[in-house]
Amino acid sequence: MDRNLVALKPALVWKHFAEIVRIPRPSSHEEKIRRYILDFARAQGLESKEDAAHNVYVRKPASKGMEDRKGVILQAHLDMVPQKNNDKEFDFTKDPIDAYIDGGWVTADGTTLGADNGIGVAAILAVLEDRTLKHGLLEALFTATEETGMDGANGLEKGLLHGDILLNLDSEEEGELYVGCAGGLDANMTFTLLKMQSNGHFIKMQLMSTSVYQAKCFVTVSKSFIQKSITEILPYYIKGLKLDIGKFPIVEDYHCLAGERPSRLLRQIAVEKGALVWADRDTLHFQRFQELWKVEPAFTYHHNKSDEQYTIAAYRQPSRTTELQEGIQKNYSGFNFEKGSIGGGGVPAFTASQNPITLKNNSVSTVDVIDYYCEGNGALRPGQVIKCLWHPANPERPLDERLPGKILVSAVAHSYYSQKFQCRVKGVIDLASA
């Protein structure tokens, strides 16, 4: 095995990486790598410091004549993922990584290599050392304990950085540049395992939030809710989630019989209240559709126009034409033993309810109109209004008027597939306004 990493090009990058892989640095054990960088900065005559969160900061002044250029911040993290083969005896807090060249790759003998993010650290050190480069003010930020909690980034001293541009050197794909950041979030979540498959190399698991899963399971004990508010009914079946519930009058009684799913009851209540119910991250939402619809569109998505910021890659229309037509034509009616028929007119559709508010809300229920895929957007969430512009592929062909110009997002699935972050969006409209 060829272990002469310093023979690789660019020479300065691989010189530093060859030294870094020999420095133990699992998360929360980064003392030696911090010392290495601080000693390096001192030897180069560069300003440096370690902050209270154990980040290391290095400053390199602008080259002569480049003082007016925008300052650039180069950032990487110090720790690595400590994983080894079962038959490998190795202590990541003490032992150096045994790195070697295998064809066109640099790898390690029985352990992770630590190129995440050792190669980023090495690249920054190479830039700081290279005296031939012409540059504006350079700031190097080496953050602590990224892999297990983003401790360094979360504890970064305010006002430490002064540059205008930040380059994060922790990317996944060679030759690709990512603009922007989805941010970071720490959360404690409990999931129920639905299915697990293994092909011998990978394990594929289907998980569901335990709070949502429990609402989809059959109940064993019947429960009646006599003149109870939504804020009393929902917490009975949805536990562990925050509640975001609008104001709704108490006009109906509800029950969930043994052998039924609470989720079906919640959907029934939503229809009769003219509301949309959805679980989003750690919150269960129950909001009136007409109130959600008043909000200004959060995004404008385009189809057949690739130069726009937000684009629809592919879509399908659910086959709901019959439902739309029937819903528009129906007049929902109930029967009261004292007042007789309530509502009615046109083509009556009788329901169990006898309350005018509930009968009216049956025409406010939502209907699926679009199901589309788009580039990943972490800000897309259910309950948002989205404007849709459908540009014809053929300029001579008019726009398809069956496609909605505005939708309410009822569901969003965020996924990482084939090295790409993407979203699947399901949109609904108000049946009464169709």
Please, what is the average pLDDT of the chain?
A: 88
Better-scored residue on pLDDT, 29 or 402: 29
Residue 405: exposure state from Cβ atoms within 10 A (0-12, 13-18, ≥19): exposed
Residue 406 confidence (pLDDT) above 60: yes
State the Cα–Cα distance between residues 225 and 245, nearest whole angstrom: 17
Residues 213-252 pLDDT 10s: 999 999 999 999 999 999 999 999 998 899 999 999 998 8
The pLDDT value recorded for residue 271 is 87
d(CA 375, CA 422): 5
**With contact defined as beta carbons under 8 Å apart, do 50 and 56 qualify?**
yes
Three-state DSSP at 209 gives: strand
Where in the sequence of the chain do the CATH 3.55.50.30 domains occur?
191-289
Does the structural domain 191-289 have CATH classification 3.55.50.30? yes
Q: Is residue 399 pLDDT above 70, yes or no?
A: no
CATH pick for 295-433 out of 3.40.50.300, 1.10.3720.10, 2.40.30.150, 2.130.10.10: 2.40.30.150
Kindly indicate the confidence band of residue 367, based on its pLDDT and cuts at 50, 70 and 90: confident
| pLDDT per residue as tens digits for the range 43-88 | 999 999 999 999 999 999 999 999 999 999 999 999 999 999 999 9
Judged on CB neighbours under 10 Å (0-12, 13-18, 19+), 289 is buried
Range 5-168 has CATH code 3.40.630.10 = yes
Q: What stretch(es) of the chain map to CATH 2.40.30.150? A: 295-433
d(CA 380, CA 277): 17
3-class SS of residue 216:
coil
Q: What is the radius of gyration, based on Cα positions, of the chain?
A: 29
Backbone angles phi, psi at 325, to 5 degrees: -60, -45
Cβ atoms of 144 and 32 closer than 8 Å: no
Angle at 377 between CA 379 and CA 300, to 5 degrees: 80
What order of strands is seen across the sheet that includes strand 242-245?
242-245, 283-288, 275-280
Q: Identify which of 111, 85, 117, 83 has the alpha carbon closest to the alpha carbon of residue 99.
A: 111
pLDDT of residue 194: 93
pLDDT for residue 322: 54
| pLDDT-derived band at 204, boundaries 50, 70, 90 | confident
Residue of 186 and 4 predicted with greater confidence: 4
Kindly tell me the burial class for residue 330, based on how many C-beta atoms sit within 10 Å of its own C-beta (0-12, 13-18, 19 or more). middle
Phi, psi of 264 (to 5 degrees): -65, -40
pTM: 0.62
pLDDT single digits (tens) 116-160: 999 999 999 999 999 999 999 999 999 999 998 889 998 998 899
Percent of the chain surpassing pLDDT 70: 87
Provide CATH 3.40.630.10 ranges for the chain: 5-168
The predicted-structure confidence for 321-363, as pLDDT tens digits, reads as follows 555 555 555 566 655 556 555 665 555 555 656 677 777 777 6
